[in-house]
């Protein structure tokens, strides 16, 4: 039994488990969303809640192991493969992203890894952008109707496809950026804060720069997050690291903290419009917590290359679902037959397996 908890068997078990959980979850949610003429039964409601938990658990597993926020996968998957209203999905996606950030805030702050001054600066810019983005989402839903639903899904599909390309082709991150000169504006803010680096067994002091440029970039990221209901960790970490020269580990810690702060602002327009349904959001939050804990445990035992390949496959298939659903909602094309979707899924799955087998051989010979 012990050998099945080691590579490559563990990676295969994780992949199959995530696929089964996601399939069952989507099936239960989709079945429950089609109530009979007499109204939605108690079993249908229970099916939606149970399916939401399964799907959230699988998403959290993959998100934590891939180092991205759960909202990055939650919102696209639900918009691609269910008929839940996009406004409700995006509002719940922000709740998921905010809750994921709040869970990580305590440990990061207690360890001194998250720089509170940088978090406040970035959260202010992020909150402004996220609030504007959320207001834009409400305006699109109010005035564009079905066309707006289609455009949101189409734009999100292209964003997720671009994000998959980002994972394929890299995206440079520097663990210890070198700052040659600090601009006057950043120097006046006094943003630096030393922290204890356990891997080096010493206290590390670092410099940061271009705080004004970071604020501009984060406003744009916040607008995307607020409009689409996405977590923004995938963009915040590179922005802090490459624009402001924050050490990579500090940037990752700050990302979780500021998302927990900034997404609170974006939630207000959705909350006032009635798009947040507590009964719908609750199982997603529980699934995120439990899935995140299990994912963190598994992460210590699986290889990072496996997670990266699996994440790319999920993003590509989700992009296909978003784009085809958008085109069918806008009546540009009919919804693709089940066999076509199954064929696309099979091609992506085979490609992932081939890539994994090649990666596994390379890791054994390395």
Backbone angles phi, psi at 204, to 5 degrees: -110, 130
Spatial separation of the C-alpha atoms in residues 79 and 279, rounded to whole Å? 19
pLDDT at 58: 81
Give the residue-averaged pLDDT of 277-304: 74
Q: What's the pLDDT band for 299 if we cut at 50, 70, 90?
A: low
Q: Which two tokens stand for residue 204?
A: 């590390």
- Which residue blocks in 170-277 are alpha helix, DSSP H? 184-189, 211-228, 233-238, 248-272
| Percentage of residues of the chain with pLDDT beyond 70 | 77
Express each pLDDT in 332-348 by its tens digit: 788 788 778 788 888 88
Characterize 120-135 residue by residue with b for buried, 16 or more Cβ atoms within 10 angstroms of its Cβ, and e for exposed.
ebbbbbbbbbbbbbbb
What pLDDT does 300 receive?
Answer: 57
Q: What Rg, from alpha-carbon coordinates, does the chain have? A: 21
More confident residue, 237 or 304: 237
The CA distance from 198 to 195, in Å, is 9
Q: With 80 as the cut, is the pLDDT of residue 208 above it?
A: yes
pTM of this prediction? Answer: 0.73
Residues ≥6 apart with Cβ < 8 Å to 313: 348, 349, 351, 352
CA trace torsion 318, 324, 326, 328 (10° rounding) = -150
Residue range 79-89: average pLDDT?
78
């Amino acid at each position: 039994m012990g050998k099945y908890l080691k590579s490559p068997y563990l990676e295969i078990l994780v992949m199959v488990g995530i696929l089964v959980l996601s399939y069952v979850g989507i099936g239960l949610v989709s079945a429950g969303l089609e109530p009979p003429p007499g109204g939605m039964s108690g079993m249908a409601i229970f099916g939606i809640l149970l399916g939401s938990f399964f799907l959230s658990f699988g998403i959290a597993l993959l998100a934590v192991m891939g180092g991205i926020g759960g909202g990055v996968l939650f919102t696209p998957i639900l918009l691609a493969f269910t008929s839940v209203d996009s406004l409700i999905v995006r509002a719940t996606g922000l709740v998921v992203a905010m809750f994921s950030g709040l869970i990580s805030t305590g440990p990061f702050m207690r360890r001194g890894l998250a720089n509170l001054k940088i978090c406040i600066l970035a959260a202010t810019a992020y909150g402004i952008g996220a609030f504007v983005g959320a207001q834009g989402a409400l305006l699109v839903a109010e005035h564009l109707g079905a066309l707006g639903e289609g455009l949101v899904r189409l734009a999100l599909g292209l964003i997720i496809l671009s994000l998959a390309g980002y994972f394929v082709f890299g995206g440079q991150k520097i663990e210890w950026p070198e700052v040659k000169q600090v601009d006057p504006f950043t120097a006046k803010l006094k943003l630096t804060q030393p922290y204890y680096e356990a891997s080096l067994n010493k206290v590390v002091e670092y410099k940061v720069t271009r705080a004004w440029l970071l604020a501009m970039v984060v406003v744009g990221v916040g607008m995307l997050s607020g409009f689409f209901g996405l977590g923004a960790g995938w963009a915040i970490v590179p922005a802090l690291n490459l624009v402001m020269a924050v050490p990579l580990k500090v940037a990752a810690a700050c990302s979780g903290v500021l998302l927990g702060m900034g997404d609170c602002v974006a939630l207000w327009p959705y909350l006032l419009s009635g798009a947040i349904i507590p009964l719908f959001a609750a199982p997603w939050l529980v699934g995120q917590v439990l899935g995140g804990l299990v994912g963190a445990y598994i992460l210590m035992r699986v290889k990072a290359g496996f997670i990266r390949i699996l994440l790319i496959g999920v993003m590509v298939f989700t992009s296909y679902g978003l784009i085809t659903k958008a085109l069918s909602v806008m009546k540009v094309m009919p919804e693709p037959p089940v066999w076509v979707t199954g064929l696309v899924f099979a091609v992506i799955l085979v490609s992932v397996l081939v890539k994994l087998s090649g990666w596994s051989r390379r890791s054994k010979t390395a």
